[in-house]
Amino acid sequence: RKEVEQDPGPFNVPEGATVAFNCTYSNSASQSFFWYRQDCRKEPKLLMSVYSSGNEDGRFTAQLNRASQYISLLIRDSKLSDSATYLCVVNESGTYKYIFGTGTRLKVLA
Amino acid sequence: DVKVTQSSRYLVKRTGEKVFLECVQDMDHENMFWYRQDPGLGLRLIYFSYDVKMKEKGDIPEGYSVSREKKERFSLILESASTNQTSMYLCASSVPDYRNTEAFFGQGTRLTVV
């Protein structure tokens, strides 16, 4: 089983739609969780950290469910500029290593 | 603004060549990482370093070595490049606090070994 698993997509959604991505992780002792965004042929950039209580940043909402070991990202009112690959990232417990999912590709259509 | 800079965006090297990929960060971060990214496989950790002259193998260290002589610089070395090392290489840095501390990435080096 992969340490961090994501549905690769692609998710093709119309502008204005709401879309949700899930990610599961295998190490129950993992401490930190992130969503990164990666545009085509560019480096990953932090979209948002994921906190235990859930957190929101504008149109983006991240949730963490420790009991079920999954993380979610909800994007409301999708924009064309949201088209990218979204990477789920888990920081391995007790180390400084970041474990990446393979990413979920989103395409927002006009 | 944190900046992680990789020396080349694109490189083409021949099989058997020794290849150096350089990475410099300007935020005094203790941790530095080298990943490779391949379609369908995502980012895989090659090596990381948590201090000068300190290094630890990641998940796929075979065929690679690293050097960290100065805090701001982390080099990845392909001792004898092979075609299966054709990939996107990404360097990253972070502070040594795993509690919701993000990793900052360089722009990537797309290496082609022919």
Which B-chain residues 63-102 have CB contacts (< 8 A) with chain A? 90, 92, 94, 96, 98-102
Give me the pLDDT at residue B32, please.
95
CB crowding B14-46: b at 16 or more within 10 Å, else e: eeeeebebbbbbeeebbbbbbbbbeeeebbbbb
Residue holding tokens 């899930």? A22
Q: How confident is residue A66, by pLDDT bands cut at 50, 70 and 90?
A: very high
B108 and chain A in contact, CB less than 8 A: yes
Model pLDDT, residue A26: 92
Measured in angstroms, the CA of B107 and the nearest CA of chain A are apart by 5
**What's residue B98's pLDDT?**
57
At B55-91, the pLDDT tens digits run 999 999 999 999 999 999 999 999 999 999 999 999 9
As a whole number of angstroms, the distance between CA B68 and CA B53 comes to 5
pLDDT beyond 90 at A97: no
Give the pLDDT score at B2. Answer: 67
Average per-residue pLDDT for chain A: 92
Q: Taking CB atoms and an 8 Å limit, are A31 and B101 in contact across chains? A: no
